[in-house]
Amino acid sequence: MWSLNRIAFADMYGWAQDDHAAALATLARHCKKPVGETYRTGRLGIPPEPLMTLAAEAAELGARDDPRGFFENRFAPVRLDNGTGEQGLVTGFYEPELSASHRRTPSFAVPFLRRPPDLVPVDDSNRPPDFDPQMRFARRGDDGVLTEFHDRAAIEAGALDGQGLEIAFVADPVDAFFVHIQGAARLTFSDGSTTRITYDGKTGHPFTAIGKLLVDRGEIPAASVSMQSIRTWLAAHPDQASGLMAENRSYIFFRETPAGEPGDGPVAAAKVPLTAGRSLAVDRLLHTFGTPVFVDADRVAGASFRRLMIAQETGSAIVGAARGDIFFGTGSAAGEAAGGVKSPCTFTILVPRDMVDRLPEEWAP
């Protein structure tokens, strides 16, 4: 059972020292989401409409003149507490940057695939009785019957070949695997042109963290597991790498998006460009996109981390009320920074003031 505890901004250690203007600009990005794009209300109960109204205000000159005052006057801080004293957890993610080819060649043979036309979402209204309740996608046959979609091993063995789903090709299957983990990538072609790919559905199979498999099998010490240590192990065991990656049966499909403005991150689940150091991936079943979240983490990039972030992304491994993933930016340096982050944390969500009295005092996810 989670408690939602009203606190004061003065109780948020590090609040006064934060760069509130950077958080304000990240919130204001929601003004540019596509017309007609709506967000679901997370089970915590914060509807998106007041958040989007405040996002519009965040883009105005008055808010930019006093960003700290904007947040303090329009929001109320509510700390999430699970009652056991156990903290939440933050990790890091980034956007890989890879060389790519528009066509399959001997050097560039690993594809990123578009969403197949027979992949359909599954929910309580259409889930077959024998389906795992966690399966959110399925394959629709010509007769309309839903069955389990091909998994990673089957797709990599050619189950979807010949359908023209390929967006681009890269050289290294390990690089491609980690793009699937991150959910996006920036691709650069030999002619100098660039494009971005971002998540557009998955097979529906549960996500399996191969780092946990390596820990459970005694291959990597639990204290040392990170993206870098996993990649090192894969490089040192090329004969086992494909089999290990195939144990993560979840396979991601992508869509192309414009490269965007310099400095912008990829357009992710909230349909706005991510901001390095300010965009947070959350459990979208619990939280509402656009919610400001003050993250107080023990150690991120070698130092304590106390920063106001905006919920703008989600991920298969991001499950729980105080579970977050910090976006670090694009490219290898961002990847190095993101890959080693795994820190206990506390979440304080900022709730629109006219909504805060409507939230329950206790809440079960």
Q: pLDDT, tens digit, for every residue of 147-192?
A: 999 999 999 999 999 999 999 999 999 999 999 999 999 999 999 9
Q: Which two tokens stand for residue 236?
A: 């040192």
Q: Do 96-257 and 2-93+267-363 fall under one CATH topology? A: no
pLDDT of 244 over the 70 cut: yes
To 5 degrees, how large is the angle CA 185–CA 168–CA 172?
Answer: 70
Q: Within the chain, what is the greatest distance between any pair of CA atoms? A: 61
Give start and end residues of each alpha helix (H) in the chain: 20-28, 48-58, 61-65, 67-74, 152-156, 173-182, 210-216, 227-236, 238-246, 332-339
CB 234 within 8 A of CB 244: yes
Q: Which two tokens stand for residue 186?
A: 């920036």
Q: Calculate what percentage of the chain has a pLDDT beyond 70.
A: 98
Alpha-carbon distance of 282 to 320, in angstroms, equals 8
Q: How much is the average pLDDT of 79-107?
A: 91
To 5 degrees, how large is the angle CA 184–CA 265–CA 17?
Answer: 130
Q: What pLDDT score was predicted for residue 361? A: 62
Q: How much is the average pLDDT of 195-223?
A: 94
User: Token pair 């509402």 is at which residue?
Assistant: 288
> Going by DSSP bridges, is the β-strand pair 279-281/303-313 parallel, antiparallel, or unpaired?
parallel
First CA to last CA distance, the chain: 8
Q: How much is the average pLDDT of 337-362?
A: 86
Q: Which two tokens stand for residue 117?
A: 């036309």
Q: Tell me the average pLDDT of the chain.
A: 92
Q: What pLDDT score was predicted for residue 73? A: 96
Q: Coil, strand, or helix at residue 82?
A: coil
Q: What pLDDT score was predicted for residue 35? A: 87
CB 152 within 8 A of CB 111: no
pLDDT of 257 over the 90 cut: no
pLDDT of 364 over the 90 cut: no
Count helices and strands (H / E) in the chain.
10, 18
Q: How much is the average pLDDT of 329-355?
A: 92
Q: How much is the average pLDDT of 217-227?
A: 92
Q: How far is CA 284 from CA 312, 319, 345, in A?
A: 9, 9, 18
Q: Calculate what percentage of the chain has a pLDDT beyond 90.
A: 76
Which of the four CATH numbers 2.40.50.180, 1.10.150.120, 2.40.40.10, 2.60.40.10 does domain 2-93+267-363 have? 2.40.40.10
Architecture of the structural domain at 96-257: Beta Barrel (2.40)
pLDDT of 362 over the 70 cut: no
Q: What pLDDT score was predicted for residue 84? A: 77
Query: 36-82: per-residue pLDDT in tens?
Result: 889 999 988 899 999 999 999 999 988 999 999 999 999 999 999 88
pLDDT of 317 over the 90 cut: no
Q: Label residue 130 by pLDDT band (50, 70, 90).
A: confident
Q: What pLDDT score was predicted for residue 132? A: 84
pLDDT of 136 over the 60 cut: yes
Other residues' Cβ atoms within 10 Å of the Cβ of residue 254: 24
**Domain regions of the chain by residue span:** 2-93+267-363, 96-257
CB 270 within 8 A of CB 39: yes
User: Token pair 């079943």 is at which residue?
Assistant: 285
Which residues are within 8 A (CB) of 91 and not within 5 positions of it... i.e. 6 or more apart? 317, 324, 325, 326, 338, 341, 342, 343
pLDDT of 94 over the 60 cut: yes
For 101, which DSSP code?
B
Alpha-carbon distance of 236 to 106, in angstroms, equals 23
Q: How much is the average pLDDT of 348-363?
A: 81
pLDDT of 358 over the 90 cut: no
**45 Ramachandran zone, left/alpha/beta (phi>0; psi -120 to 50):** left
Q: What pLDDT score was predicted for residue 3? A: 80
Write phi, then psi, for 151 (nearest 5 degrees): -95, -175
CB 256 within 8 A of CB 201: no
What amino acid occupies position 79? R
